[in-house]
Amino acid sequence: MSFNSPSAPRSSDGRSLDDLHGVNHPDADSQDDFGLDLVDELSEHPEEPANRPVKKWMLVAGMLAILVVGGIVLLTLLTPKDSSGKIVDASDAQTSTQDITNGGSANIVISESEDGIAVQALDLPVAPEGFDYQWSATASDGSIRLLDALEDDKTDKWVSVHDLARLDDLTLSLETDGGLDVPEGEPLVVIATP
């Protein structure tokens, strides 16, 4: 609604009410433009890309994010997948010990909540040249699988297997270096599973 008609009331100094309320006043548009001048400016110069300098902190943050993600991936790949610790530390862990034929003993831990068994050979004599101690698992269907071939300096390493219902026993034997998929040596200890 405009008061600039010839019959519009005027103030004592001759200004219209529109003048008094800022309508059509040069500063009035700048107060109520709501960012429309930016839209007008962009529409007048559409081919000019916005040149904004990249902030140093943005580069640093991006590089830091790459390093963190890379570190997590590397740690995940290098961390052993053995779950012996969960079995050994389980609240329902049942432990026992069994003698090994040529010397030493085997620690045995069974956990129903983790559905697994963990074994550890202790005080084994040094394996003859060209041989390693090997843990193998025999499934209830008769299939045998290599769990781990123990290097001379790591014979006390924990080894574990899950799915107790499908497992008959674990055996420790002396096999050629690196172990065999199906053991050929005589079992030094056989650990029956529940």
Q: Mean pLDDT, to the nearest integer, of 125-144? A: 91
1-33 pLDDT, tens digit each: 444 455 555 555 565 555 555 555 455 444 555
Across 71-80, 135-144, 163-172, least confident range: 71-80
Give the CB-side neighbour count of residue 56, counting CA atoms within 13 A: 0
**Residue 121 confidence (pLDDT):** 93
Sign of the alpha-carbon dihedral angle for 162, 163, 166, 168: positive
Instruction: Output the pTM of the full model.
Output: 0.57
**Residue 29 confidence (pLDDT):** 47
Please count the residues of the chain: 194
CB atoms within 10 A of CB 3: 15
**Residue 28 confidence (pLDDT):** 47
More confident residue, 33 or 150: 150
Most confident of 28-37, 163-172, 176-185: 163-172
Residue type, 68: V
Question: What are the residue boundaries of the structural domains of the chain, listed by start?
Answer: 17-78, 84-192
pLDDT(79) > 60: no
